[in-house]
Structure 1
Amino acid sequence: MTECSRPGGRIYGGGKCYDRSVFAGKRAMCSVTIGGPPPIYSGCGLNGPISEILFPSTTECSIFVGFTVIEPFLVHAPARISDGERQRWLDRYRECVLSLANAPTITHPKLADFDDAHVLKSV
């Protein structure tokens, strides 16, 4: 179970949420090291898809306060890789951070796309 703490009042509330929040237009990315190899975190893997595991704490909370969420940067089983491979991952991370402005994002509809019952107007 994941808990997300959101500072009410200044960050959200009073109509400030999602694309109307103070962080609207800003980007956020989660960077995570994961203990196991990729197959364990797939749709058929023991732990299930990593995207579903991360969604509540990274994507949902970030979108709620207005961030455009960048696809997460994931490194699987870093304790089991060589120093050379670790350096390659660090280089990839550096490149990722340097290109955040052009990084792929996780799409989410705008508040205007929902009706008064908070259901998408057209699916």
Structure 2
Amino acid sequence: MIDDANPELSQPSPDERPVRHPLVQRLLRVVIVIGVLALILPSVLSAFTTQARTAELACRTIVSSYQLRGVTAVAKLELIAPAGPGWYCVARETDGTETVLAYLGLIPGLSNLPEPGVPA
């Protein structure tokens, strides 16, 4: 008798339709995906910008430690390289030739600063 008094507690019949319209479900999924991207994307961009700036400053320090004149310090992110993926410090001369001075790592820094005059 409890089922007769409370029809909402009875088992649903197999022909019942979903509570929400399929268009509303799709719209909710799109909003959720946009929300997740809005949370993740700023963090990724901030981390990349910080790494690029750190790599640039570390590369300037390396070039100045070699006391190279007439070259520009360039930090490059290489995904396919001999030492593996990561940031590389490159000295670019005025004629356009480039020389790799140091591997800065995936997270750039000066922890592995090469000694001037000692081959890497």
Establish whether TM, by shorter chain, passes 0.5: no
- Taking structure 2 as the reference length, the TM-score comes to 0.22
Q: Which structure: greater helix fraction?
A: 2
Structure having the higher Rg: 2
- Taking structure 1 as the reference length, the TM-score comes to 0.22
